């Protein structure tokens, strides 16, 4: 069985890497070192094809775009094989230098790399500006929100879903991820994949500032306090906020089901929790319609600009990749070495 998620994302706070909590329980972490992400993705694909019918695996989708993979985790073998740009903050990593499989590598094109990083910075700056404007949107709804009612709603939900569950009598394991991010291909997510096998799914609706993240944090904390393992998916717009709480041991997920990852229940066991309807003064949307529309268009314009910059960065990235060609034989030799000498 394959699980997909993002361990890093392009956000308003820049590039955010959450890999640590996803691999800190493993016995071995292999870092693939080479300037070509295309090569490393090809190697990771070979590993996937070798083991996908044999055992469970986690596939780390990439903020670089749909054509790339950041890593593969084989939990039963207690090993992760990762692109080295994901391992910079990890300890006890075994680095595998793929350049030794090549007779000679071209020098790094500093001009192209500088142009690439420049476009990425422009993207992050645009996302940050968008978030700052989004704060003005949140302020409108905060003024009209009944926080006591929101607290009672969370308490009631926790009492019904979590409080009656037995204590696990162990320390909870908390894992941080993204279910999607901003990429050169646009805003992407794997929400349908994550929730497809979960019996109970809560679609959290609301508006900016209506406490969706706070509600989910409270639920996640309640589950963790009882010793259940909790997967917390951060928001790729504002990584300080939560977009999903996933607790397989209790058979439920809840996620922020608003743009740009808006979905609706489609099967038994799925339901909506609408924090706007439950906690905000009726008629708020209508009362502030003009202001809300203006602010929404403004912040979205910066988000769109950010995506354009990521697309332009991606085009430069393609030029960089073209300077590191490889053939099928070399790829096969590297994959064979890893599969026979590294993964046991």
For 64-91, b/e burial (b = at least 16 CB within 10 A) is bbeebbbbbbbeeeebbbbbbbbbeebe
Compute the distance between CA of residue 110 and CA of residue 296 in angstroms, rounded to an integer: 39
Relative orientation angle of helices 37-51 and 328-337, to the nearest 10 degrees: 60
φ and ψ of 205, to 5 deg: -105, 165
Please tell me the predicted confidence (pLDDT) of residue 106. 82
Report whether 195 contacts 201 (CB < 8 A): yes
* Cβ-based neighbours of 270, under 8 Å, separated by 6 or more: 200, 201, 202, 203
Question: Minimal CA–CA distance to 21: which of 106, 80, 85?
Answer: 80
Please tell me the predicted confidence (pLDDT) of residue 103. 86
Please tell me the predicted confidence (pLDDT) of residue 105. 79
Place of tokens 């717009």: 237
Compute the distance between CA of residue 124 and CA of residue 120 in angstroms, rounded to an integer: 6
Report whether 331 contacts 46 (CB < 8 A): yes
The 8 Å CB, 24+ separation contacts for 114-122 are: 115/316, 116/313, 116/316, 116/317, 116/320, 119/309, 119/310, 119/312, 119/313, 119/316, 120/10, 120/15, 120/309, 120/310, 120/313, 122/306, 122/309
Question: Minimal CA–CA distance to 273: which of 201, 209, 189, 208?
Answer: 201
Please tell me the predicted confidence (pLDDT) of residue 107. 85
**What is the 8-class DSSP label of residue 167?**
P
Compute the distance between CA of residue 21 and CA of residue 257 in angstroms, rounded to an integer: 25
Q: How far apart are the first and last CA of the chain?
A: 19
72 forms bridges with which residues in the sheet? 59, 81
**Token pair recorded at residue 157:** 């939900």
Region of 169 (left: φ > 0; alpha: ψ -120 to 50; beta: rest) is: left
pTM exceeds 0.85 for this model: yes
User: What does pLDDT average to in each consecutive run of 10 residues of the chain (344 residues)?
Assistant: 97 98 97 97 98 96 98 98 97 95 87 98 99 98 97 96 92 98 98 97 98 98 98 98 98 98 97 98 98 98 99 98 94 95 86
Cα within 13 Å of Cα(334), Cβ side: 25
Compute the distance between CA of residue 219 and CA of residue 273 in angstroms, rounded to an integer: 13
Compute the distance between CA of residue 240 and CA of residue 238 in angstroms, rounded to an integer: 5
Report whether 246 contacts 194 (CB < 8 A): yes
Please tell me the predicted confidence (pLDDT) of residue 244. 99
Report whether 127 contacts 133 (CB < 8 A): no
Place of tokens 């999903």: 244
């Amino acid at each position: 069985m394959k699980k997909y998620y993002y361990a890093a994302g392009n956000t308003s706070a820049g590039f955010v890497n959450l890999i640590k909590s996803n691999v800190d329980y493993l016995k071995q972490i292999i870092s693939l070192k080479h300037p070509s992400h295309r090569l490393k993705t090809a190697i990771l694909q070979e590993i996937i094809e070798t083991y996908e019918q044999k055992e469970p695996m986690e596939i780390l989708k990439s903020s670089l775009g749909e054509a790339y993979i950041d890593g593969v985790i084989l939990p039963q073998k207690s090993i992760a094989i990762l692109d080295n740009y994901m391992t910079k903050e990890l300890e006890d990593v075994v680095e595998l230098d793929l350049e030794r499989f090549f007779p000679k590598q071209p020098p790094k094109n500093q001009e192209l790399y500088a142009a690439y990083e420049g476009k990425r910075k422009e993207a992050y700056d645009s996302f940050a500006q968008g978030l700052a404007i989004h704060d003005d949107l949140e302020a409108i709804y905060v003024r009209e929100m009944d926080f006591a009612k929101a607290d009672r709603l969370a308490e009631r939900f926790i009492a019904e879903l979590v409080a009656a569950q037995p204590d696990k009598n162990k320390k909870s394991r908390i894992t941080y991820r993204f279910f999607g991010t901003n990429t050169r291909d646009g805003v992407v997510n794997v929400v349908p994949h994550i929730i497809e096998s979960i019996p109970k799914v809560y679609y959290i609706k609301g508006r900016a500032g209506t406490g969706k993240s706070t509600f989910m944090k409270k639920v996640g904390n309640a589950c963790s306090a009882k010793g259940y393992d909790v997967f917390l998916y951060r928001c790729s717009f504002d990584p300080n906020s939560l977009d999903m709480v996933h607790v397989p041991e209790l058979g439920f997920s809840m996620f922020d089901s608003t743009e740009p990852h808006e979905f609706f229940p489609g099967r038994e066991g799925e339901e909506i929790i609408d924090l706007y309807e439950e906690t905000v003064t009726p008629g708020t949307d209508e009362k502030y319609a003009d202001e809300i529309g203006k602010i929404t268009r403004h912040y979205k314009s910066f988000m769109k600009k950010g995506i354009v910059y990521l697309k332009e960065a991606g085009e430069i990235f393609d030029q960089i990749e073209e300077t590191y060609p490889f053939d099928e034989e070399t790829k096969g030799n590297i994959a064979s070495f890893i599969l026979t000498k590294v993964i046991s």
